[in-house]
Structure 1
Amino acid sequence: MYPKIDFLYLSEPDMIAAGVLDAERCVTVCEETFSLLGEGDYLMGGANHNNHGMNIVFPKETKFPNMPVAGPDRRFAAMPGYLGGRFDVCGNKWYGSNHANAEKGLPRSILTMMINDKDTGAPLALMSANLLSASRTGAVPGVAAKHLANPDAKIVSVVGCGPINKACFTAIMTQLKAVEKVVCFDLFLDKANEFARWAEGKYGVTAVGVDETEAGFRDADVITVAASRLKPLHFKDEWIKDGATILVSGPVNTDESFLTGCKIVYDHTPLQEAYVEDAIASGNKDAYYSGVIGGPFYRLIDAGKLPPLKESTGLGDVVNGKKPGRESATERVIFIACGMAVFDISWGFEMYQSAKEKGIGQSLNLWDKPSLS
């Protein structure tokens, strides 16, 4: 046993050099993570081991002059977890967010990731995590596309043309090889057109930008939704064709008839159950549901119009062959992704290993010998 502890620091350029933007590799790692989730070889926060994370939210008013007050998407979150399998490490993503960051030329969220030894708690790596988080967020619907979409899908619709949906689309395109057309919807047409030009240049497909919601959903084979939290959108049952797959990574609402008439696959049903527990504990379930991605589904479950979460399908069950995914070419499927720390851990661990192999990053010293021992 040696008391000296060094750990690896990885800047954003280091993460790029380590391969954080390798979408196909990230989909493979996230598929492996889903398998571990399905087997139960993981832990997350909370007494139920399934919490998304712990948030600091700010009050609307405060008597303390330096305390922040509430603002659009202004919060901090700690997302801890343990992931087993070949990863076998603990980790925590520390997440700060403020919509007003754009006025300072900063991204809305600024994230870091720490990977720790599971036994000693010693840090193994501290890394820039904006690209890490975006990549794994995109890879999750990429895994879903592999298992739930019709493989001959020709039209993909991108609903919300920000950086997260660019990561989602990039991952989805690693799995769908027959795509010919991309429809890019955003409330701001210039953003939609910019995304369309990028998609045409990168993939050689026909792409069009639109700013009408219906045009973003109608006739698409696969729809990836990662729109703004500031204005959740609503799509209608009649817009969704037979055989369509909707991959949801952001808030959305739709007709009750669609949700009760399609196949629903969740990223991980125990996570969804933890959200419901939090909603009950909040004392105002309806308000809580309005702030989370799965809210419309939880309301219908409470009303007895959808099966209980314990009877529902998680993507880990599909990956492991325990439950069916798509069962026919005409079935309409919706996938709900709420995000979990274990994906940051698996992709972060992969980048840590890659950086060590390539000699990337800076070694930092915690101590040569602990003063307290």
Structure 2
Amino acid sequence: MGARTEFRYLSEADCIAAGVLDASRCVDVCEEVFGLLAAGDYLMGGPNHNSHGIGIVFPAASPFPNMPLAGPDRRFVAMPAYLGGRFDVCGNKWYGSNQANTLRGLPRSVLTLMLNDKDTGEPLTLMSANLISAARTGAVPAVASRHLIARKPEVLAAIGCGVINEAAVTAIVSQHPQLQRIVFHDRTLAKAQKAAHEAQERFGITAVAAETAQDCVRDADLVTIAASRTSPLVLRASWFRADVTILLSGPVTADEEFWTESSIIYDNLKLHEAYVEEAITSGDKQAYYDGVIGGPIYRLIDEGRIAPLEDSVDLGRVLLTPEQNRYRPSGRTVFVACGMAVFDIAWGYDLYQRALDQGIGQSLTLWEEPHAR
């Protein structure tokens, strides 16, 4: 008998038809993933099974004329993972990133997601993943906003007006219908004004642009930050309300008080431990720290200025039963999200199942019968 293998191809339009833009559902799925992280029912790459991904970073110079050279945000990264629970599937998000893509009319990063049968390795689906990745990146801080705020927020501040923060704002608004105002800031005022206009039209909430990051966050109960890696953001603790919740989905530089006088909640402690392990083995720990969102925190931990990771709390722990929960919202809280392939796999799997149910996408044949066995 033959062993015919088919898989479903889902274009970006197919993913939209399957519901990739349903922010509220994506938040629910991501919260489900945090439960699996807390239980340990997942695996990612690397010897520690918690690596963000395996990347190719190009050199500054090369004797080979066709080899790509280093440039802003230029890399290739594979992000493999297994996720248990109802998902029970393996997968890999693969992406290439290059800031120069925007000059070609392309997104900075071009992403695909492949899901595979956990036993045979056969592909189940190949999906366009730019919207999947943006949606889950926005949904993760929105999950945090459900649990790390002492009161219902009325003012949301958004620093960075790119695709990621657009998704974060959308997801956060879906969780907090009582929001009264959104304030946007970007390195260009025109971009912030455009984001404010679009948000007001879309959500029916008063939205304005701020010329400075300080003005943007001044009155905010809740702040989402996803600024460009190519334009470092410098923050000061004194800019923020004493009880603000800050959701980081991108790199920032801040004064020491911003970190030492805040309650820091991580997306997943094992991921951050893996980052530190990889920094040590890289041979240049400080340079490695420069390239990751948690770098400023890891430096302060090394210096003994804030609690080590093993004594810290992540969102999965916050979601445990009340008697196990080691965190209660109080004072300034900073949530740090660095991105994990398990969230892409969960959201991709959810969309794949809906695509199957609704007949969305194209069935492709890998082989009618494998040539070699």
Q: TM-score, normalization: structure 2?
A: 0.98
2:282 aligned residue: 282
Aligned partners of 1:110 and 1:275: how far apart in 2? 24
1:139 aligned residue: 139
2:300 aligned residue: 300
SS of the residue aligned with 2:175? coil
1:72 aligned residue: 72
Aligned partners of 1:151 and 1:128: how far apart in 2? 38
1:272 Cα deviation from its structure 2 partner: 0.2
Alignment pair present for 1:115 and 2:147: no
1:253 aligned residue: 253
SS of the residue aligned with 1:126? strand
SS of the residue aligned with 1:363? strand
2:12 aligned residue: 12
Asked if the contact 1:313–1:323 (Cα under 8 Å) also holds between the matched residues in 2, the reply is no
Offset from partner CA, 1:121-169 (integer Å, 9 cap, x none): 0000000000000000000001000011244211100000111100001
Amino acid at match of 1:326: R
Aligned partners of 2:327 and 2:123: how far apart in 1? 38
2:328 aligned residue: 326
1:356 aligned residue: 356
1:73 Cα deviation from its structure 2 partner: 0.5
1:326 Cα deviation from its structure 2 partner: 3.4
Aligned partners of 2:127 and 2:2: how far apart in 1? 24
1:99 Cα deviation from its structure 2 partner: 0.4
Asked if the contact 2:184–2:195 (Cα under 8 Å) also holds between the matched residues in 1, the reply is yes
2:196 aligned residue: 196
1:177 Cα deviation from its structure 2 partner: 2.3
Amino acid at match of 1:351: L
2:61 aligned residue: 61
Alignment pair present for 1:184 and 2:184: yes
1:198 Cα deviation from its structure 2 partner: 1.0
Asked if the contact 1:326–1:333 (Cα under 8 Å) also holds between the matched residues in 2, the reply is no
Asked if the contact 2:50–2:270 (Cα under 8 Å) also holds between the matched residues in 1, the reply is yes
Asked if the contact 1:44–1:82 (Cα under 8 Å) also holds between the matched residues in 2, the reply is yes
Where structure 1 has 5 or more consecutive residues not aligned to the other structure, the ranges are none
SS of the residue aligned with 2:288? helix
1:174 Cα deviation from its structure 2 partner: 1.4
Amino acid at match of 2:82: Y
1:234 aligned residue: 234
Where structure 2 has 5 or more consecutive residues not aligned to the other structure, the ranges are none
Aligned partners of 2:86 and 2:349: how far apart in 1? 10
1:372 Cα deviation from its structure 2 partner: 1.1
Aligned partners of 1:116 and 1:151: how far apart in 2? 42
Offset from partner CA, 1:100-140 (integer Å, 9 cap, x none): 00111111000000000000000000000000000000000
Aligned partners of 1:150 and 1:15: how far apart in 2? 35
Aligned partners of 2:217 and 2:268: how far apart in 1? 25
Q: Percent identity?
A: 58
SS of the residue aligned with 2:176? coil
Asked if the contact 2:301–2:308 (Cα under 8 Å) also holds between the matched residues in 1, the reply is yes
SS of the residue aligned with 1:174? helix
Amino acid at match of 1:44: M
Instruction: Report which stretch shifted further, 211-220 or 30-39.
Output: 211-220
Amino acid at match of 1:284: D
Q: TM-score, normalization: structure 1?
A: 0.98
Aligned partners of 2:110 and 2:67: how far apart in 1? 19
Aligned partners of 1:325 and 1:229: how far apart in 2? 30
Aligned partners of 2:341 and 2:329: how far apart in 1? 30
Amino acid at match of 2:6: D
Amino acid at match of 1:218: R
Instruction: Report which stretch shifted further, 119-128 or 234-243.
Output: 234-243
1:2 Cα deviation from its structure 2 partner: 5.8
